[in-house]
């Protein structure tokens, strides 16, 4: 068995009530980490936290927060530090898939996407880094997309804000390497999610199969649990020489390495 060295670590996962965030929270809780998850919908968030506790017998803190609001970010970090004394791991996962043609995207949509995906990660990182320094190091993972490296047509504003996330990752990795704070990004391709399911017409498995046939060389759409395995490795004691890296989680669909 590969010991990831996560037992007792304190993690914050934004967008933690569904999909990638929830899978990551469940994985870390199962490894013995203490996990705080945030989302905007209280009832749904509380239900997710309860289910993770039952599945893993782990410690899970649920805090309602919108990371596009500075006060919510500060309240989340303060609550975690008050309960568990610090922060070791941050997953900047909050975000939605906003994709449209350039002329269809108005100023309000641009600003909302920037506040959520870029400034949310900036605010959360700025708040946790001092606590990580006190603990002798930490790990930050930013969720971006393969489209941030090689954008497809009509993929705005997401492709631009995700490109900013790539830059933020490398900038923080370089600046805080001396503090033993490792910063990496996972570039997402197609992963089974509630957002995709909502767009499906008819049989969901047939929809996933068709998406995979058209867009994924491996021939299938990933499960969130597979992402969670990658995330857990990158924040573990087995990955201490990896920082400033972008890892494609896309089944080979991205046009860049």
Q: Which residue has the tokens 């995207």?
A: 105
- Region of residue 256 (left: phi > 0; alpha: psi -120 to 50; beta: else): beta
- What confidence score (pLDDT) does residue 98 get? 87
CATH number for the domain spanning 26: value is: 3.40.50.720
Residue 197 has pLDDT above 90, yes or no: no
| Percent of the chain surpassing pLDDT 90 | 93
Residue 1 has pLDDT above 80, yes or no: no
> HEC states along the chain?
CCCCCCCCCEEEEECCCCHHHHHHHHHHHHCCCEEEEEECCHHHHHHHHHHHHHHHCCCEEEEECCCCCHHHHHHHHHHHHHHHCCCCEEEECCCCCCEECHHHCCHHHHHHHHHHHHHHHHHHHHHHHHHHHHCCCEEEEEEEEHHHCCCCCCCEEHHHHHHHHHHHHHHHHHHHHHHCEEEEEEEECCECCHHHHHHCCCCHHHHHHHHHHHHCCCCCCECHHHHHHHHHHHCCHHHCCCCCCEEEECCCCCCCC
Q: Which residue has the tokens 């996990």?
A: 35
Domain containing 154 equals 10-192+223-249
As a whole number of angstroms, the distance between CA 166 and CA 81 comes to 27
As a whole number of angstroms, the distance between CA 16 and CA 159 comes to 22
Question: Does residue 139 fall inside a structural domain?
Answer: yes
Average pLDDT, the chain: 96
Tell me the CB-side half-sphere exposure of residue 226, using CA atoms within 13 A.
14
| Mean pLDDT, residues 36-41 taken together | 97
Joined together, the tokens standing for residue 109 give 């949509």
Question: Does residue 176 fall inside a structural domain?
Answer: yes
| Mean pLDDT, residues 178-188 taken together | 98
Question: Does residue 182 fall inside a structural domain?
Answer: yes
List, for residues 131-145, the tens digit of each pLDDT value.
999 999 999 999 999
Question: Does residue 205 fall inside a structural domain?
Answer: no
Question: Does residue 206 fall inside a structural domain?
Answer: no
Residue 242 has pLDDT above 90, yes or no: yes
Domain count of the fold of the chain? 1
Q: How many CB atoms lie within 10 A of CB 157?
A: 19
Question: Does residue 54 fall inside a structural domain?
Answer: yes
How do 156-157 and 99-100 pair as beta strands? antiparallel
Residue 202 has pLDDT above 90, yes or no: no
Contact in structure between 59 and 52 (CB atoms under 8 Å): no
- What confidence score (pLDDT) does residue 27 get? 98
Question: Does residue 197 fall inside a structural domain?
Answer: no
As a whole number of angstroms, the distance between CA 252 and CA 58 comes to 34
Question: Does residue 157 fall inside a structural domain?
Answer: yes
List, for residues 18-31, the tens digit of each pLDDT value.
999 999 999 999 99
As a whole number of angstroms, the distance between CA 239 and CA 255 comes to 25
């Amino acid at each position: 068995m590969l010991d990831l060295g996560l037992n007792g670590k304190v993690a914050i996962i934004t967008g933690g009530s569904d999909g990638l965030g929830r899978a990551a929270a469940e994985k870390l809780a199962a490894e013995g980490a203490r996990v705080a998850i945030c989302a905007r919908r209280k009832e749904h968030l509380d239900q997710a936290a309860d289910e993770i506790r039952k599945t893993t017998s782990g410690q899970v803190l649920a805090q309602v927060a919108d990371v596009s609001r500075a006060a919510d970010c500060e309240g989340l970090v303060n609550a975690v530090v008050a309960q568990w004394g610090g922060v070791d791991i941050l997953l900047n996962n909050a975000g939605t898939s906003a994709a449209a043609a350039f002329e269809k995207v108005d100023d309000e949509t641009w600003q909302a996407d920037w506040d959520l995906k870029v400034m949310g990660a900036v605010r959360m990182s700025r708040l946790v880094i001092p606590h990580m320094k006190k603990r002798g190091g930490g790990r930050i993972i930013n969720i971006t997309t393969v489209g941030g490296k090689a954008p497809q047509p009509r993929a705005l504003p997401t492709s631009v804000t995700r490109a900013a996330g790539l830059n933020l990752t490398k900038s923080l990795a370089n600046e805080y390497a001396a503090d033993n704070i490792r910063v990496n990004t996972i570039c997402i391709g197609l992963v089974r999610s509630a957002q995709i399911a909502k767009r499906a017409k008819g049989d969901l498995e047939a929809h996933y199969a068709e998406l995979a046939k058209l867009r994924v060389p491996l021939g299938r759409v990933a499960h969130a649990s597979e992402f969670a395995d990658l995330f857990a490795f990158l924040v573990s004691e087995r990955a201490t020489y990896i920082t400033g890296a972008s890892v494609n989680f896309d089944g080979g669909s991205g046009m860049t390495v």
